[in-house]
C-alpha cells in the first residue's frame, strides 16, 4: 500500500491526467468547453493542488485530516457542478435555458460576482452532449472522477500511517 505522501502524489498526478484529457478533448478533438466544464476543471485543479501541497508538507495526523477534509469538500463541490451539468443535459429541448455569452465577454462586461453567478448556473451550451463513452457523457465521467477523489481523500484522512 502506498504511503500517505505517495497517495497524495497519486491524487495529484490523477488530477493532471484529468486536465490533460480535457485539454486533449478541447484542442485535438475541437470540443470547446462550456462554462460548467471550465468550472469543473477549476475544481479538479484545486483538488490536485491540495494533494500536491499535502504531499510536499507531509503533515502530521491533524494536518493530514485538514488537507483531506479540504480535498474531499472541494471534490464534493466539483461533483455538484458535474451533477448540475448532467441535469442540464437531461432536460427536454423545450426546457433547456437559452445560450449565453462566452466566458471572455462575461468577464469583460459584468462585475466579477455577476459573471461568476452566470457562469456557475450554466446555459444552453452546457446541455449539448458532444461525446460519450459507454453511454456516459463527459460531466458524468467527471462526476465519477470527483466521487473517486472524494473517496480517496476520505480514506486518506481516516487511515493510519
Q: Which residue, 99, 96, 87, 95, is CA-closest to 35?
A: 99
pLDDT at 92: 73
What 8-state DSSP symbol labels residue 136? E
What does the domain layout of the chain look like in residue ranges? 4-158
The ranges of the chain with pLDDT < 50 are none
What is the distance between the alpha carbons of residues 39 and 42, in angstroms, rounded to a whole number? 5
- For the 4-158 domain, the top CATH level (class) is mainly alpha
For 43-81, the DSSP string reads: HHHHHHHHHHHHHHH---HHHHHHHHHHHHHHHHHHHHH
pLDDT at 18: 95
| 8 A C-beta contact, residue 41 and residue 22 | yes
**Which tens digits make up the pLDDT trace of 30-67?**
888 877 888 899 999 999 999 999 999 988 889 899 99
What is the distance between the alpha carbons of residues 14 and 2, in angstroms, rounded to a whole number? 15
pLDDT at 100: 61
Amino acid at each position: 500500500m502506498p504511503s500517505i505522501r505517495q497517495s497524495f502524489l497519486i491524487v495529484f498526478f490523477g488530477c493532471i491526467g484529468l486536465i490533460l484529457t480535457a485539454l486533449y478533448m478541447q484542442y485535438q478533438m475541437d470540443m470547446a468547453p462550456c462554462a460548467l466544464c471550465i468550472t469543473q476543471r477549476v475544481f479538479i485543479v484545486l483538488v490536485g493542488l491540495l494533494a500536491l501541497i499535502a504531499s510536499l508538507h507531509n503533515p502530521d495526523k491533524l494536518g493530514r485530516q485538514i488537507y483531506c477534509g479540504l480535498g474531499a469538500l472541494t471534490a464534493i463541490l466539483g461533483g455538484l457542478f458535474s451533477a448540475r451539468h448532467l441535469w442540464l443535459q437531461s432536460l427536454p429541448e423545450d426546457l433547456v435555458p437559452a445560450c449565453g455569452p462566452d466566458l471572455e465577454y462575461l468577464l469583460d462586461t459584468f462585475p466579477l460576482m455577476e459573471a461568476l453567478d452566470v457562469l456557475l448556473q450554466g446555459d444552453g451550451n452546457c446541455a449539448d452532449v458532444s461525446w460519450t463513452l459507454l453511454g456516459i457523457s463527459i460531466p458524468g465521467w467527471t462526476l465519477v472522477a470527483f466521487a473517486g477523489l472524494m473517496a480517496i481523500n476520505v480514506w486518506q484522512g481516516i487511515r493510519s500511517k
